[in-house]
Structures are given as C-alpha cells and as structure tokens.
Structure 1
C-alpha cells in the first residue's frame, strides 16, 4: 500500500468514519485477494476499531469483500466506519493503522501506519457532524499531512 494522499474524518449515520485514498498493489505475480480491511485508530493508549469497510467513489461505493489486487494495483478510496457511534475527539497526536486479511493467510497484515497531529480547532470542527469532512492532504514539501 502506498502512502495515502488524502485522509478524511466524517460522520456517516452518526458513526465516525475515516476514508483515505491510496494504491493497493501486490508483489505476487498472480496478485492477491483482500477479504477484509480495517483501521485501528490509536490515541492516548486507546484503540478504536473502524471495521466496516467499503471502497470506491460515490455513487459507486461498494461494501468491501473479495477485492482482487494485481501487480498493477488498484487506486480507490477506502472507507472505514466505526462500530459504535461515540464521537471522535482526535485533538493531538494519533496513529492510523490500516490492516488487511488476505485469502490464504491466517494472520492479518499491517499495510500502512501513519501519525497525524490534529489541532484543537480541527477537532472541535469534527465534533459538529454538520461541518462535513475534516480533510488532510499529504504535503510533499513539508513531509506531513496538512489540513485541506
């Protein structure tokens, strides 16, 4: 998995959602099949699972399952929704880890992990679900994610 060029936080039906865009690729000549993907959001030693996975662009968003990833890769948005509707309060540093379970492997694989610093102001914006998504873009000059 390549570094996501965009990471966003939003609410979907009152549940927190993280979505990102990246290229998934396979080094296996015949590719791999992803059975499931999920995100673990870690902050202040607390872990939160975003285990409902979908991928694609609106209006063609589909529930994730059985995604074939060949050597040429698949570049799409990946959407992860939390199980519970507890509000996100992500001010400060956080870690976002993306995992996948692939066909034929018993253990899930960590595909990518990144650190993100979210300001108090941005966190307050996110607490009000009517504000829309809180979006961060990768800034290659500063080698960090910056608010869009």
Structure 2
C-alpha cells in the first residue's frame, strides 16, 4: 500500500496503460492515501502478496453460467495471458474481451468500451437464453482477481 505521494504515483504509472492523472498535487495524493491506504495496511499487503503469489486457476471454481471477462491488453499486474487461461478454464461459457490500450484499471481507462461490452452481454442474456439449462438463466460478469 503506497504511503507517500511518490509511491502512489508509481503505482498509478504501473496500473494504467497511459496514466490518466498528470500533475496531481502531492497534497491531493496525501489525502487519498489518508482515506484509502492507512486502515488495515497489513491485511491489504497480505492480500496483494497472496494474489501475486498464488495465481492458480485450479482454485477458481468452474462456472456453469455464461461469463464475461473484460481484460486490459496492457495489464501489467495480471498479464493478458492470465485472461486467456481464465477463459480456457471456464470453457465454452466464457467470453473474453481484450481491450486495447488499457491496463489493469480497464473500467477507468476505457469506460465507454467497458460499458458497451457489459451492456451487450447483459442485454443478450435477457433476450436470448442459451438453453433450457437452469444454470444458464444467470450470467456472470467476472472481475478476477479484484483489485
């Protein structure tokens, strides 16, 4: 968890394909750190370390419902190869959308593309059920692993 404005800037540069925020004053970043990065620091560090260390898809349950996976093509935290592996793990029920020029925060970097794909997925699920299989009555939008 970043504890200084410079460390937060470093994290932003790493998480985004193109940093969205340029020239943000240090006092603003310090306020952000005070609000979001000071409580439960040890637990957050443990969670981040576990996510990085334990990227085993075998621990992800098999999802039977149609599932949308939206991934940033330039994600350096969870590289696109993991997205392809996740799609393969889920199988025929998965649809992977790889968004170009987006990093880990694809919903922030490319909100229109993100929303368009999500909306299409949700509308399609209402209009054209895939089968009479009860497990196909619900659809999953999967953000894995969550930040």
TM-score of Structure 1 vs Structure 2, range by shorter chain: under 0.3
Please identify which structure carries the higher strand content: 1
User: TM-score when scaled to structure 2?
Assistant: 0.21
Could you say which structure has the higher helix fraction? Answer: 2
**How high is the TM-score relative to the length of structure 1?**
0.21
Determine which structure has more spread, i.e. the larger CA radius of gyration: 2
